[in-house]
Amino acid sequence: MQGDIYLVVFLSILIVQIDGVPRFANYYQDHMVLQREPQRALVWGYGDANKLTSLKIGGKTYETVSRSESADNFGEGTWSVTLDPVDDEGPYDIQVSQPLTNGTLTTITLHDVLFGDVWLCSGQSNMQMTVRDIFNATEEIANAEKYPKIRVFTNGRTPSSTPVEESIQIVQKWSIASSSSIGGPSWTYFSAVCWLYGRMIHEALGGRPIGLIATSYGGTAIELWMPQDAFLKCYPPS
**Residue ending a domain, choose from 95, 113, 131:** 113
For residues 172 and 212, the answer to whether their CB atoms sit within 8 Å is no
Please state the domain count of the chain. Answer: 2
Helix H or strand E encompassing 212: strand 210-216
**Residue ending a domain, choose from 66, 96, 113:** 113
Q: Are residues 169 and 214 in the same domain?
A: yes
Does residue 231 lie in a domain region? yes
For residues 50 and 65, the answer to whether their CB atoms sit within 8 Å is yes
Q: Are residues 106 and 143 in the same domain?
A: no
CATH, residue 90 = 2.60.40.650
Q: Are residues 101 and 170 in the same domain?
A: no
Size (the chain), residues: 238
Does residue 14 lie in a domain region? no
Does residue 20 lie in a domain region? no
* Burial label, 150 (beta-carbon count in 10 A; 0-12, 13-18, 19+): buried
Does residue 9 lie in a domain region? no
Range(s) of the domain holding residue 38: 28-113
- The pTM score is 0.87
Q: Tens of pLDDT along the chain (238 residues)?
A: 434 433 333 333 333 345 568 999 999 999 999 999 999 999 999 998 899 999 999 999 999 999 987 777 667 889 999 999 999 999 999 999 999 878 889 999 999 999 999 999 999 999 999 999 999 999 999 999 999 999 999 999 998 888 889 999 999 999 999 999 999 999 999 999 999 999 999 999 999 999 999 999 999 988 888 888 888 888 888 7
Does residue 11 lie in a domain region? no
Does residue 22 lie in a domain region? no
Q: Are residues 129 and 233 in the same domain?
A: yes
Does residue 2 lie in a domain region? no
Q: Are residues 101 and 185 in the same domain?
A: no
Q: Are residues 233 and 135 in the same domain?
A: yes
